[in-house]
Structure 1
Amino acid sequence: MIIVTVPGISESALARLIEHVEAAGLRTHVSRGEHRTIVGCIGDEGLLSDHGLTQLEGVERVLPVLKPYKLASREFSVQSTAIRLGDAADTVIGGRDLVVIAGPCSVEGREMMHETAHAVQRSGARLLRAGAFKPRSSPYAFQGMGEEGLKILAEVRAETGMPIVTEVMDTRQVELVASYADVLQIGARNMQNFPLLTEVGRTQRPVLLKRGLSATITELLMAAEYIMAQGNGDVILCERGIRTYETATRNTLDVAAIPVLKRETHLPVMVDPSHAGGRAHLVAPLAMAAVAAGADGLIVEVHPHPATAKSDGEQSLEPSAFASMMQQVRSVALAVGREPSWEVELASV
């Protein structure tokens, strides 16, 4: 349930209200808005049934939360969640800016990572993505460079200032990956790996949570709830296409999921057009559709030489194609009221 307080509730009255709820055995989550403060109650709500909440000072009304996800529900937060990243915390995911994360599918070497990072940064990307550990359908395919890949990513971050997004696949990797990465990515195959979700929730690192191949929106939000239940509210949801009967694309981008999620949750929503389309020529159109539908950002695969990429080369953009996409995306973003912070001069790329 949520407790809606009266406008301008005093700090002492709010403290007594929180103490009252927690004394009954529930946890509280406080969300402060410009005019009102909401207190979310997490636990067995039956413990509060006889406590006369509406009689307490500062309580305006008590409302049930009918959704199975509580912390992720928009009802639990007065304002949309904005996640700040970078040394100066000047990159905000979930604000007015449209944030683009870009880079190769996997770390393949020092030189290519430096080349890619500088290229995508020139075109407006704010964060760098690349996998040091890679989940592959075949056990014989390239599995990533492991910790050596993480070290390369840290070198590139030191040089460019770009925060790093990289995937963690196993509970045994969480501590290691978190010591290098700025954002921990949970891939589609691990969306319902509940021990892993619990573990990344304990790190207090922002988490980019990708929707599972056949997951419903409710299942995605329940996965986010596992992370948030550990006290980590910095969760970024990522729609990356779902598996359908269609074979013309790698997956089917669920564009409708974007406005549904924006209505259901206060968490920021990003879109991965690379995995959705599976082919480079589809990335820009899908990216523009995602922005038009309300996405807070994009995560795009970019490789300096896609033909020789060790993974996902077919869906990776060359730097020049990425620059062109960023120019197109910027136009759409401005048209729908976003404030993209980059400008692209194609001749200089």
Structure 2
Amino acid sequence: MKNLLVEKNSGPNIIVKVRDIAIGDKEPVFISGPCSVESYDKMMAIGKELKNIGIHILRGGAFKPRTSPYDFQGLHMEGIKILHEVGKSYNLPIVTEIMDARDIEKCIPYIDMIQVGSRNMYNYTLLKELGKSSLPILLKRGISATVSEWLYAAEYIMSSGNSQVVLCERGIRTFETYTRNTLDLNSVAVIKENYRLPIIVDPSHGTGKRELVESMSLASIACGAHGLMIESHICPDNAVSDARQTVNMDTLKSIVNKSKVLNDIL
């Protein structure tokens, strides 16, 4: 890959600003919240806990791509508006996935960062439209994507005018079946060594098992990740989607505290 905007020789390392939160600087950034926005009351309760723990950015799915068309698909614009209200109440920037280019314009007033999920990493029409946006983009790695394919997806966004891109390693599909995916922390080292985009890690999807999320979070910080994206809930077992990989608030607090200590040592 030569002469690409993502390469280090094309300019200085990029620090992405999500309102006043800088991703790619010295301090790790923590993004957390439930897989799906379930209701206003639940999101308010979750938002309060996340703010107290020190989470920087609130996440939650309003448009949910699901393998089965019969599974919960999210609250759509109602979910977006709920996220907005919770973020405003607790002064937390919002990141959420947009799956369809037709929804970008109507969602922009309510959110601070747009997530591209793993299924949409290859949606080049969507990527080019996001390149015309002024909002920062969180680009998740495709479930079977190579690092090069992932970087070319980022290039689609950047070449269309938006350099505010954060990469998110969320595990890839391999022959291993014990965990939901195989968390490829090699990619963190590769990105930091050769490319200028910040990279964070999602150990929730990377493992699919809540008991592994804390150890893999610390491993992610140890190998140089600029932050973590963790699914959390006040009642994880009752979460509408991805309950098995969702941690409770005590575990999340432990992850944040230990990650800060580890980052200071490194």
TM-score category by the smaller chain? over 0.9
Which deviations, in whole Å up to 9, do the C-alpha atoms of 1:165-207 show, x marking residues without a partner?
Answer: 0001111111122221100000001101000000111111100
Match of residue 186 from structure 1: 116
Q: Retained in 1: the 8 A contact 2:169–2:183?
A: yes
Match of residue 143 from structure 2: 213
SS of alignment partner, residue 122 of structure 2: coil
Structure 1 unaligned residues grouped into runs of 5+: 1-66, 337-349
- C-alpha distance in 1 between matches for 2:72 and 2:229: 21
SS of alignment partner, residue 223 of structure 1: helix
Match of residue 197 from structure 2: 267
2:158 to 228, 232, 256: 228
- C-alpha distance in 2 between matches for 1:120 and 1:103: 8
Match of residue 70 from structure 1: 4
Match of residue 215 from structure 2: 285
Alignment of 1:1-349 (within 5 A): 67-68=1-2, 70-77=4-11, 79-86=12-19, 89=20, 91-336=21-266
- C-alpha distance in 1 between matches for 2:161 and 2:177: 40
Shift of residue 306, structure 1, vs aligned partner: 1.2
Q: Retained in 2: the 8 A contact 1:68–1:222?
A: no
Which deviations, in whole Å up to 9, do the C-alpha atoms of 1:109-161 show, x marking residues without a partner?
Answer: 01111111111121121000001100001101000001011111111111111
In structure 2, the CA distance between the partners of 1:69 and 1:196, relative to structure 1 (3 Å rule), is: farther
Q: Retained in 2: the 8 A contact 1:80–1:267?
A: yes
- C-alpha distance in 2 between matches for 1:271 and 1:209: 11
Shift of residue 69, structure 1, vs aligned partner: 6.0
Runs of 4+ in structure 1 over 4 Å off: none
| Structure 2 residue identity aligned to 1:190 | N
Shift of residue 68, structure 1, vs aligned partner: 4.5
In structure 2, the CA distance between the partners of 1:74 and 1:149, relative to structure 1 (3 Å rule), is: same
Q: CA RMSD, aligned part only?
A: 1.0
Q: Which has the higher contact order (CA 8 A, sep 6+)?
A: 2
Larger radius of gyration: 1
Count of matched residue positions in the alignment of Structure 1 and Structure 2: 266
Shift of residue 85, structure 1, vs aligned partner: 2.1
SS of alignment partner, residue 102 of structure 1: strand
Structure 2 unaligned residues grouped into runs of 5+: none
- C-alpha distance in 1 between matches for 2:207 and 2:261: 21
Shift of residue 297, structure 1, vs aligned partner: 0.5
Q: Retained in 2: the 8 A contact 1:191–1:212?
A: yes
Q: Retained in 1: the 8 A contact 2:3–2:10?
A: no
Q: Retained in 2: the 8 A contact 1:69–1:225?
A: no
SS of alignment partner, residue 178 of structure 1: helix
Normalised by the length of structure 1, the TM-score is 0.75
- C-alpha distance in 2 between matches for 1:189 and 1:85: 23
| Structure 2 residue identity aligned to 1:148 | E
- C-alpha distance in 2 between matches for 1:69 and 1:244: 31
Q: Retained in 2: the 8 A contact 1:242–1:253?
A: yes
- C-alpha distance in 2 between matches for 1:220 and 1:120: 30
Q: Retained in 1: the 8 A contact 2:232–2:248?
A: yes
Which deviations, in whole Å up to 9, do the C-alpha atoms of 1:258-285 show, x marking residues without a partner?
Answer: 0101112111000000000101111001
Shift of residue 323, structure 1, vs aligned partner: 0.9
- C-alpha distance in 1 between matches for 2:263 and 2:3: 30
Q: Retained in 2: the 8 A contact 1:69–1:222?
A: no
- C-alpha distance in 2 between matches for 1:176 and 1:106: 19
Identical residues among aligned pairs (%):
44
Q: Retained in 2: the 8 A contact 1:130–1:166?
A: yes
SS of alignment partner, residue 179 of structure 1: helix
Shift of residue 296, structure 1, vs aligned partner: 0.3
Shift of residue 328, structure 1, vs aligned partner: 1.9
Normalised by the length of structure 2, the TM-score is 0.98
